[in-house]
Chains A and B, each alone.
Chain A
Amino acid sequence: MSSGGPVRALLKWILGPLAVAFVFCGLGQGLAVRRDQVYAATARLPPAERAGLESAPALAVANATWAFGSVDAVKKMARIELDRLPESEGPRRARVYLRFGIVDTNPDGQAALFGQAWAADPKMGNQGLKDAAVREVHARFVAPGNVLPLFFLGGHPPISGPAAGPGPR
């Protein structure tokens, strides 16, 4: 037997089949990507778009809870969302505080939560906060939380924010 025997056998019986397996694995994967609509739509996305899609399930769960959930469910969802969302996601955190505030029955607690919403997304401004609250109230189908809080209708003393927090208009 020549010294090249084991090497040749290794190539022929191990590395050759492995190479064939990898080539067909790549072909199979390409075929799977093309034939699967959902897979094809999500393959080769830039990181930002993929991150957007990956946050969609959590957003769907939060929206469902807000639409029909009990107060306890909304508060639980708010805590989970605040744990999940980084500080950099200001507008999303603001929305969570806003929802939490809308279902809060304590006027002072409500004002504090709206203040936190405003702090999380200062670009929103007073009118932006009220507009967002109107949108949220319309998206909720059960009480409490499906009517605009008195806070936004006037009569509540101004609350302090980072500079000049939101207050009734």
Chain B
Amino acid sequence: MTRRDTDAGSGPGSSRAALVATYVVAAIAGCVLGLRGLAPPFLRARESSTPLARVGFALRQQEIPEATASDWGDLARDVERVRSTWDPRDRDVFDLVVAVRGLATGGVADWSRAEQLCRDLKWPRCDQPALAALRRSSRP
């Protein structure tokens, strides 16, 4: 059997095109996985960044002025990952901190959600000045 026989019906040109397409798809898939932080562990061996560390970093900053919309989107996903592993007894307070610090809303405090969460927690003060002070004092 010759190569020409194998490719009969499709031709060597289309076989080559299929091969090129396979490589292109592999390259695109690899790039997308890398950009989304889904690289396999052996490629991430030198990276120490974790969702918890990134949320911790964001909480320590007064603000992150040069963060892009994409950065905030990534951070919102990190917040969700951290939240899912958070102690359920304390998750509502975590949500309140996230809301006043705007970690899931592009760095802009979500005051209405924060006020609602605060009232659900039955904390003594949930007014705007108190929540603004909470935003400042929650910086670790």
Partner of B1, one of A1, A33, A53, A76: A1
In the assembled complex, B70 has its CB within 8 A of some CB on chain A: yes
A42 touches B57 (CB 8 A): yes
* B72 CB, nearest partner CB in chain A, Å: 9
Once the chains bind, are A39 and B54 in contact (CB under 8 Å)? yes
Q: Mark A33-56, 1 if CB is under 8 A from B, else 0.
A: 101111101111111001011111
A129 to chain B, nearest CB (A): 22
**Chain A residues touching B, majority SS:** helix
B23 and A41 contact, CB distance less than 8 A: no
Q: Does A12 contact B (CB under 8 A)?
A: yes
Of the residues A20, A29, A68, contact of B34 by C-beta under 8 Å: A29
Find A21's partner among B26, B56, B82, B90 (CB 8 Å cutoff). Answer: B26
B34 touching A30, Cβ below 8 Å: yes
Q: Contacts of B22 on A, CB cut-off 8 Å?
A: 13, 17
A126, CB-defined interface residue at 8 Å: no
On chain A, the residues within 8 Å of B49 by CB distance are: 33, 39, 42-45, 50
Q: Which residues of A are found within 8 Å of B43, using beta-carbon distances?
A: 22, 25-26, 29
Interface centre among B49, B75, B133 (most CB of A within 10 A): B49
**Chain A residue contacts of B52, Cβ below 8 A:** 53-54, 57
Q: Are B30 and A24 in contact (CB under 8 A)?
A: yes
Does A39 lie within 8 Å of B74, measured CB to CB? Answer: yes
Q: In the assembled complex, how far is the CB of residue A146 from the closest CB belonging to chain B, in whole angstroms?
A: 10
For the complex, give the distance between the alpha carbons of A142 and B75 in Å: 31
Tell me whether B27 and A21 are in contact (CB under 8 A).
yes
Q: Hey, which chain A residues are within 8 Å of B70, CB to CB? A: 35-36
In this complex, which of B32, B44, B75, B137 has the most chain A Cβ atoms within 10 angstroms of its Cβ?
B137
12 further A-B pairs in the complex, CB-CB below 8 A; given A29-B35, A53-B53, A63-B138:
A24-B26, A31-B34, A44-B46, A47-B48, A52-B56, A53-B54, A57-B82, A60-B140, A64-B100, A67-B138, A69-B121, A142-B124
